Structure 1
């Protein structure tokens, strides 16, 4: 048992099991499967990052194009509709048949 300074102490492990566990972890971490997994994760992260950046740029372009081209068109169509409604209202008040 280890020396007691206070609290509960656990029994020491034999040296050979400690060496085996360290050797096993080192062997596993250096295996081809682990390195392939790390490389795949790195490649996936790179692709996702590029995809998010390009999607953000495309959304910015689409949004600004909509504001510059489509919103003024919608406003003008609304004005035209209001003018038509006003003319129809005036025609009905004056008694002339609508066109």
Structure 2
């Protein structure tokens, strides 16, 4: 028990080679530079703005869609129903032999 060696595995060297250390130093300097931090901030700001824009666009689309369903669709249905009634009246008048009266122009 006098010597406590490691059991199994591979022992790694204590110090890295000089060229590997220089590369790590260069990478760390680049990643901590002001240009990189400004780029990260710009990307973060762009993501925030696009998220807000997408959310507000979705809300506007929801409002437009529901407004169309509530106001415009019933109007279209009623106009179609009115046109069908006019056509039916003209058809009945022609069958009964009465002179067909042209529908009055709507204002």
Asked if these proteins are the same fold (TM beyond 0.5), I'd say yes
Following superposition, the deviation at residue 46 of structure 1 comes to 0.1
Greater fraction of residues in helix: 1
Q: Whole-Å Cα distance in 2 between the matches of residues 34 and 88 of structure 1?
A: 77
Following superposition, the deviation at residue 57 of structure 1 comes to 0.4
Normalised TM-score (structure 2): 0.78
Consecutive unaligned residues of structure 1, counting only runs of 5 or more, are 6-13
The aligned residue for residue 8 of structure 1 is none
What CA RMSD, in Å, does the superposition of the two structures yield over aligned residues? Answer: 1.2
Q: Whole-Å Cα distance in 2 between the matches of residues 23 and 97 of structure 1?
A: 99
Q: Flag as ranges the 4+ runs of structure 1 deviating above 6 A.
A: none
Following superposition, the deviation at residue 71 of structure 1 comes to 0.6
| 1:36 corresponds to which of 18, 35, 38 | 38
Q: Whole-Å Cα distance in 1 between the matches of residues 47 and 63 of structure 2?
A: 25
Bigger radius of gyration among the two? 2
The aligned residue for residue 11 of structure 1 is none
Normalised TM-score (structure 1): 0.84
The aligned residue for residue 91 of structure 1 is 93
Consecutive unaligned residues of structure 2, counting only runs of 5 or more, are 1-8, 10-15, 102-107
Q: Whole-Å Cα distance in 1 between the matches of residues 36 and 73 of structure 2?
A: 54
The aligned residue for residue 10 of structure 1 is none
The number of equivalent residue pairs is 87
| 2:56 corresponds to which of 39, 54, 57 | 54
Following superposition, the deviation at residue 56 of structure 1 comes to 0.5
The aligned residue for residue 105 of structure 2 is none
